[in-house]
Copies of this chain bind each other. A is one copy, B any other.
């Protein structure tokens, strides 16, 4: 794993930009890159078919309904994936960060929209080209199947949250699931950076911004979390937070 990463030192600049290993090798399931599955030579080849891009904050880089030509691997920053109803209601189906893939949940056309929450650096693959790469590097396909399986597990957990949990349970569950921001403080699992707005949080958890705000305030008042002004949240009592995530108290 780390061998692969070290091996990148000698290869092209494009590679290190294009194919991000999980920033925290052992820290969380969401930090899944392509590196783990491939040897150095394979990575170099893969990098040659990828195109690295920067997406500014707020920019939509995948639109629901568009022909699904590309497949992405996030390098830096955070994006939100969502589906909209005609009247404006929105459901964010997930947030993706460094190492995550965008485009697995697509048939001929994208079934979701992807929008950058902050500046996003990503790597773009041609889906058809990627398919042909599979035959050369079966390990890559294996990897993607594993990633897809993992995303299905996450999705099922989110269904449980959306279908059956109360507002405070949803907030608590989210805070527990949200990876500690690798960029700022990888070692302190209790320091969270939430790059998204309250509106995004509500659209992800099936709540309104007011309810999100109230639930956070409730947890703050009980000294379970501390809320900073800079999108930062600190978990003060993980045990009680975990209790809120399922019991609701």
- Residues of chain A at the chain B interface (Cβ within 8 Å): 81, 83, 85-87, 89-91, 93, 104-107, 111-112, 134-135, 138, 141-142, 144-145, 148-153, 155-160, 162-165, 203, 205-206, 246-247
Looking at chain A's contact residues, the main secondary structure is helix
Task: Give the complex CA separation of A115 and B120 in angstroms.
Answer: 42
Q: A138-B138, A141-B145, A155-B156 are in contact. List 8 more A-B contacts (CB 8 A).
A: A85-B160, A85-B164, A85-B165, A91-B160, A106-B149, A145-B145, A152-B155, A158-B159
A206 engages B156 (CB within 8 Å): no
Other-chain residue from B111, B112, B141, B164 in contact with A206 (beta carbon distance below 8 A)? B164
For this complex, 16 residue pairs linking A to B, each with C-beta atoms less than 8 Å apart, are A83-B157, A83-B160, A85-B246, A91-B156, A93-B159, A104-B149, A104-B152, A105-B152, A111-B156, A135-B138, A138-B141, A141-B141, A145-B145, A155-B155, A159-B159, A162-B206
Most buried by B among A89, A148, A206, A246: A148
Q: Given A105-B152, A152-B148: A206 and B163 within 8 A (CB)?
A: yes
Question: Which residues on the B side are within 8 Å of A104 (C-beta)?
Answer: 148-149, 152
B155 engages A91 (CB within 8 Å): no
Task: Give the complex CA separation of A85 and B153 in angstroms.
Answer: 15
Question: Which residues on the B side are within 8 Å of A203 (C-beta)?
Answer: 163
Task: Give the complex CA separation of A105 and B154 in angstroms.
Answer: 9
Q: Given A142-B141, A246-B85: A106 and B153 within 8 A (CB)?
A: yes
A111 engages B158 (CB within 8 Å): no
Task: Give the complex CA separation of A158 and B81 in angstroms.
Answer: 14
Question: Which residues on the B side are within 8 Å of A156 (C-beta)?
Answer: 81, 83, 91, 93, 105, 111-112, 155
Task: Give the complex CA separation of A153 and B112 in angstroms.
Answer: 8
Smallest CB separation, A201 vs chain B (Å): 12
A152 engages B152 (CB within 8 Å): yes
From A87, which residue of chain B is reached at the shortest CB distance? B247
